[in-house]
Amino acid sequence: MPSTMTAGSPAAAAWPSLAPPLAAHGRQLARAVSSFEHAVLGRSPTSVTVIAAGSSMVVHVHEPFSELERSLARQSEAGAERVREFHRGLFSRTVDALLEHVAEATGVLLRGGIAHVDTSTGSVIKTLATVPDIDLFVMGRGLPALGVPVNDHRRARGTIETSGNRTT
């Protein structure tokens, strides 16, 4: 990631200021994402994390399943697939509105996104970024001596992409 931002670059337009108000912008962005998620789902995400480095910013939204979704996902693989398809479709249908809402509320132009639906943990993790290309590595449990294996890898290049669980 670049460590500096030049005037007139797309990143400069995406991020109004990297001066001391950076933390305030992060909180403002997290609130905008959280309010949008609440409007769509009727519940707020468990957490919204904003990470800024140089001219790039990444937003992680962790959203737990409802009790009904959790129960359906536990019943069978077909139930888990229904939950994954629901959240993939929901993300695909609402992501443009989410990016627009964030831009209007904060002035930050997010340009890409990936949603990972994890039926084993009962959550949806959405990753949004100021850059159009995103790599998402889903880390699994590993043996301490061997490190942590990568269970899933998704890449979005200039588009919005979704992913579900990958069986290993």
**32-45 per-position pLDDT tens digit:** 989 998 999 888 88
Rounded to two decimals, the pTM is 0.66
Mean pLDDT of the chain: 74
Q: What integer pLDDT is reported at residue 127 of this predicted model?
A: 83
Q: Is the pLDDT of residue 48 over 90?
A: no
Diameter over CA atoms, the chain: 54
Q: What integer pLDDT is reported at residue 143 of this predicted model?
A: 45
Stretch 147-167: mean pLDDT, rounded? 52
Q: What integer pLDDT is reported at residue 44 of this predicted model?
A: 87
pLDDT tens, position by position, 55-87: 667 788 888 788 899 999 999 999 999 999 999
pLDDT tens, position by position, 5-26: 333 334 444 444 444 455 677 8
Q: Decide which of 109 and 20 is more confident.
A: 109
Q: Is the pLDDT of residue 152 over 50?
A: yes
Q: Where in the chain are the domains?
A: 33-163
